[in-house]
């Protein structure tokens, strides 16, 4: 029975496919999984928009949307109808073809990332050996869509937003990759299913997730920072800083194209959270061995929702960074920490079992964090802002 609920979607897929002739079965199975992903994540996006608005409202002592349907839960439907019925404006001097393609490329690139994410036991669309590599390659092409949008709109705000977005995404792509590399170093595989399998065993009922190791904890923190910047979320939402750039690279988009950008952004957030879950939080494995009876996909999606909650929480808490602070933070703090983390992970790998590697690795990382953070704050590069007023 436990196995049945765990594998319910896999069995459902096999059952539906079994009605088809043998030659079509594998293609139909893939198609079915694709349709499931394409339906599921936009639905999750719709839910997330309303929960985000409500959560941020609560953080700001407000109620949030509560007029459309019970507790405002039908708000995304109203928003969808609104964006579908709005006029689709293409600026007269815009490059119409690229302007049209940009949101499509964005959504397609983001959807591709879901192909390699293991969402449960045996629930991965393409079990690729180089899954992580594929994910990062596809994830980087979302930047192209952003720049296409900014460039083709022929609007200074769009272009500025796109330039900012590209600068930011490329800067944070490096720490994102490097924090992922530590996991590859320890696991010895680029396959995401193997990475989950490597974390899915327990001692004393506690899991061997990578976040519970010194290098994994540091790597996860760096990954979380880079992922926030990659998905253009607050406090790294400079590309669409509405107080400076109207709406950044999607200023000239209206109606459903705008909704597609919005969708793409949230899907990118989901997929990057899913990857973080897979790399550091044990993917679909249960947090305690006695909870193994709960279906694996429930664990994956609860971890995903938890990360999204943290994203929303951060958005409700932190103000936006300045461009120079953003760059300083990426190149002078996150990147050195990631590089150091590579050495720490290597040390962890070769020091063998025992308490010594825990002490050494944690000490190195904490010392580096404190000294690097202190020196950067001392030089005024990152850390609290100081204001000088006109005399």
Partner 1 sequence: MLGEGIIKGLAETARNFFGSYFFAERLTTVEYPEERIAPFEAARVFPFLVFDGTDALAGLRCTSCQICEKECPPKCIYIEKSKDKKPDYVGRMQFYPARFEIDIAVCMSCQICVEVCPFESIKMNTEFELATTDRFGGLLLDRDQLAKPNSYYQKIHPAEAATVDARLGEEKAKFAAKVKATSDAAAAKSAAKALEGANG
Which residues are at the interface with partner 1 (CB under 8 A)? 55, 58-63, 66, 313-314, 316-318, 333, 369-370, 372-374, 376-377, 382-384
Shortest Cβ 59–partner 1 spacing (Å): 5
Region of 322 (left: φ > 0; alpha: ψ -120 to 50; beta: rest) is beta
Beta carbon of residue 307, minimum distance to partner 1 (angstroms, whole number): 15
Q: For partner 1, give the closer residue by CB, 194 or 381.
A: 381
Strand partners, 206: 203
Pairwise CA distance, residues 148 & 105, whole Å: 9
- Residue 371 CB, shortest distance to partner 1, in Å, is 10
Backbone phi and psi for residue 225, each to the nearest 5 degrees, phi listed first: -65, -50
Taking each helix axis as running N to C, give the angle between helix 214-230 and helix 335-350, from 0 to 180 degrees, rounded to the nearest 10: 150
CB nearer to partner 1: give 66 or 323.
Answer: 66
Q: Which is nearer to partner 1, 256 or 331 (CB)?
A: 331
What is d(CA 180, CA 174) in angstroms, rounded to the nearest whole number? 10
Q: Which is nearer to partner 1, 267 or 334 (CB)?
A: 334
Instruction: Say if CB 190 and CB 251 are below 8 A apart.
Output: no
CA distances from 40 to 34, 124, 291, 323 (A): 10, 14, 25, 35
Q: How far is the CB of 276 from partner 1 (least distance, A)?
A: 18
Strands (E), 148-286: 202-203, 206-207
- Torsion from C-alpha of 179, 180, 181, 186, nearest 10 degrees: 100
Identify which of residues 91 and 316 has a Cβ nearer to partner 1 in the complex. Answer: 316
Taking the least distance from each CB to partner 1, the nearer of 157 and 333 is 333
Q: Which is nearer to partner 1, 91 or 383 (CB)?
A: 383
Q: Tokens representing 389?
A: 């007023």
3-state secondary structure of 285: coil
Smallest distance from the beta carbon of 58 to partner 1, in angstroms?
5
**Shortest distance, CB of residue 369 to partner 1, whole angstroms?**
7
Among 386, 220, 225, 248, residue whose Cα is nearest residue 314: 225
User: Residue 371's CB: how many other CB atoms inside 10 A?
Assistant: 10
Please state the closest distance from residue 374 (CB atom) to partner 1, in A: 7
Q: How far is CA 148 from CA 86, 89, 165, 171, in A?
A: 22, 17, 11, 19
Place of tokens 């904890």: 217
Whichever of 17 and 312 has its CB closer to partner 1, that residue is 312
- For residues 190 and 198, give the distance between their C-alpha atoms in angstroms, rounded to a whole number: 12
CB of 224 vs partner 1, minimal distance in Å: 12
Cβ(124)–Cβ(113) below 8 Å: no
With respect to partner 1, which residue has the nearer C-beta, 162 or 221? Answer: 221
**Cis amide linkage into residue 235, ω under 30° from 0:** yes
Tell me the closest approach of the beta carbon of residue 313 to partner 1, in angstroms: 6
């Amino acid at each position: 029975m436990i196995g049945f609920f765990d594998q319910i979607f896999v069995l459902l897929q096999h059952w539906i496919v079994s009605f088809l002739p043998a030659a079509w079965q594998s293609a139909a199975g893939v198609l079915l999984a694709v349709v499931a992903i394409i339906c599921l994540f936009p639905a999750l996006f719709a839910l997330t928009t309303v929960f985000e608005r409500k959560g941020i409202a609560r953080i700001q002592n407000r109620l949030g949307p509560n007029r459309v349907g019970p507790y405002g839960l039908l708000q995304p439907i109203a928003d969808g109808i609104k964006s579908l019925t709005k006029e689709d404006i293409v600026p007269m001097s815009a490059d119409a073809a690229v302007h049209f393609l940009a949101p499509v490329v964005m959504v397609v690139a983001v959807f591709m990332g879901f192909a390699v994410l293991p969402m449960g036991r045996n629930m991965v669309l393409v079990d690729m050996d180089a899954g992580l590599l594929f994910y990062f390659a596809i994830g980087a092409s979302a930047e192209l869509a952003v720049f296409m949008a900014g460039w083709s709109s022929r609007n200074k705000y769009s272009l500025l937003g796109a330039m900012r977005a590209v600068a930011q995404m490329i800067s944070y792509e490096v720490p994102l990759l490097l924090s992922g590399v530590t996991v590859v170093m320890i696991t010895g595989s680029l396959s995401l299913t193997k990475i989950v399998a490597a974390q899915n065993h327990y001692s004393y009922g506690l899991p061997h997730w990578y976040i519970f190791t010194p290098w994994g904890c540091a790597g996860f923190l760096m990954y979380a920072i880079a992922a926030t910047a990659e998905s253009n979320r607050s406090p790294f939402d400079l590309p669409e800083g509405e107080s400076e750039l109207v709406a950044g690279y999607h200023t000239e988009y209206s109606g459903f194209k705008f909704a597609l950008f919005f969708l793409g952004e949230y899907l990118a957030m989901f997929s990057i959270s899913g990857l973080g879950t897979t790399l550091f939080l044990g993917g679909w494995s249960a947090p305690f061995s006695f909870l193994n009876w709960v279906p694996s996909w429930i664990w994956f999606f609860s971890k995903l929702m938890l990360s999204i909650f943290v994203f929303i929480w951060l958005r409700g808490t932190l103000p936006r960074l300045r461009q120079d602070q953003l760059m300083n933070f990426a190149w002078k703090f996150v990147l050195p920490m990631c590089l150091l983390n590579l050495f720490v992970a290597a040390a962890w790998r070769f020091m063998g079992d025992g308490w010594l590697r825990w002490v050494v690795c944690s000490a190195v990382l904490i010392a580096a964090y404190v000294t690097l953070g202190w020196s950067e704050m001392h030089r005024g590069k990152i850390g609290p802002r100081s204001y000088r007023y006109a005399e």
